[in-house]
Amino acid sequence: MYGYVRPVKGELKVSEFERFRGVYCGLCHELARRYGFAARFLVNYDFTFLAMLLAQPGPAVTCPRRCPAHPLKKTECLSGCDSLSMAADMTVILGWWKLADGGEDKSFPASWGYKAACGILKSAYKKAAGRQPVFAAATEQNLKALQALEKANCPSMDEAADKFALILRAAGTAIDGEKGRVLSELLYHLGRIIYILDAADDLAEDIKTDSYNSLRYRFRPTEEGKLSEEDQRTIRVSLQHSHNALAGAYALMGDNIYSSILSNTIYLGLPAATQAVFSGTWKTNGRIQRERSIS
Amino acid sequence: MNDPYSVLGVSPSASDDEVKKAYRDLARKYHPDNYHDNPLADLASEKMKEINEAYDAITKSREQGGSSGAGGYGYGYAYQSQARQQSTGSNAQYVQIRNLINANNLAQAEAMLNAIPTHDAEWYYLMGSVCWRKGWMDQAGQYFRTASTMEPGNVEYRNAVQYMNQGGQAYRPAGAGMGDMMGGDAACNLCQNLICADCCCEMFGGNLIPCIGCR
């Protein structure tokens, strides 16, 4: 969805990279299997991370598969596992609401594109919401609350980020007991980090198009969307505390076969993405690397 | 109790040094400083207790069995409660709010704070604590700073501001790279954090650095 939550490829072993690709491609296949071809376009790194995080200990079942993006070579894809199905359901739910949100926010002709995509995925969304009613309700409720904050030009970075964080947190509440508690805390802070990074990355553009951005009202950016060093430090300290909370929760999760990839994503990937956003290179280098990192 | 070797993740044939290293790594992972005012601190504390017991059991059984034993290697990474200090001037309502925050009942604590019409330094500090626990780190920092500005001599408020500004600390596995979210060097920050945490510990009669360095 945003691409900030991904491992640093250069630090992965070849076997780890293949395992990671197996989950990403597996999620794409699972989306197609459960929700039809169009749902494939919603595949993203954030929910690939969730699928790995939710995976049970023990070996994974994979099978070689071809797809339209890689028609010549088969990829060993993760398949038939509950965490993958759950991640696919949640991908469709959040993806659909993001499209619906875009349909309302954007102006013509972009809004029509969003509305058309929403229409195509409507039946997939209904099916997914039936399978994950708690997550669907939390997504709808918090995105609406976020819209209301946007309309009121909410000056609190925490309050705006809280709504998005609560959506991800809801994915953790689907798990019972202690693990669910740990997962909820981890996902809350992951959501908070994603939201704030996205706000920092979009700041210049949002000021140009006069759109809402929580950092615009919380801090005093220039007209070009630049933040003072002190403001940047305030944001990064806040991100650091969320990262600490995330790492603290992650340490309490049991190991599975994706642990080394998850550790890479948390300890290297998130700081690297943050560095790229604040140095202004995310939009250029980051996006290119994102395209290249999987195919 | 679970098999102490599986708790520490080593085989029963592991050498004393290997057992000690596994214990140290886990103790570093679940160390209370990584769970500063954290809603999951209770779970980390349970883990710490479990590994302490496992290490103790292995050491004892090896001593009895005539093996060289881990030789006086203490297992006391004590888990200190992070309950808020009760400042002497606290009124009854603030005491109640502190208890609610410590019990993680944040909604009620926030409602009680919102019902108080006059806002003194302690009010701002407690509001900051509620925000912190909720994960609203930016506002927590703002409240802590206000509290400390209103009452510059208060150690509790000053410590909260200091902890906020230096970025806190978390467990990082060995070799997990150097970068952090603040664009700094994590190893460098760790030293800084240890020194800060040690100062805090000493203020309350404890000592952190020897408890890591000497064991």
Q: What is the pLDDT of residues A157-170, one digit of tens each?
A: 999 999 999 999 99
Buried b (16+ CB within 10 A) or exposed e, A60-79: bebeebeeeeeeeeebbbbb
Find the range with the poorest average confidence among A36-40, A254-258, B77-81, B124-128. Answer: B77-81
Q: Least CB-CB distance to A158: which of B34, B139, B165?
A: B139
Q: How far apart are CA B166 and CA B186, in angstroms?
A: 12
Indicate the pLDDT class of residue A173, thresholds 50, 70 and 90. confident
Q: Which two tokens stand for residue B53?
A: 């017991």
Peptide bond connecting A271 to the previous residue in cis, omega within 30 degrees of 0? no
pLDDT at B95: 93
Is B180 near chain A, with CB under 8 Å?
yes
Is A282 near chain B, with CB under 8 Å?
no
Distances (CA, A) of A185 to A131, A165, A174, A182, A295: 23, 10, 13, 5, 32
Q: What percent of chain B has pLDDT over 90?
A: 57
Q: Are B212 and B191 in contact (CB under 8 A)?
A: no
Cβ-defined contact of B43 to A252 (cutoff 8 Å): yes
* Sign of torsion over alpha carbons B97, B99, B101, B104: negative
Is B38 near chain A, with CB under 8 Å?
yes
Residues 118-137 of A with CB under 8 A from B: none
Q: Residue B128 CA to chain centroid, in angstroms?
A: 18
Cβ-defined contact of B135 to A275 (cutoff 8 Å): no
pLDDT at B189: 52
ipTM of model: 0.87
Read off the pLDDT of residues B161-175 as tens digits, 9 standing for 90 and up. 999 998 888 888 876
Is B171 near chain A, with CB under 8 Å?
yes
pLDDT at B74: 42
Say whether pLDDT at B120 is over 90: yes
Is B182 near chain A, with CB under 8 Å?
yes
Greater confidence, B206 or A119?
Answer: A119
C-alpha distance from A236 to closest chain B C-alpha (Å):
5
Greater confidence, B90 or A28?
Answer: A28
Contacts with B29 from chain A: Cβ below 8 Å:
251
Q: Least CB-CB distance to B135: which of A182, A245, A268?
A: A245
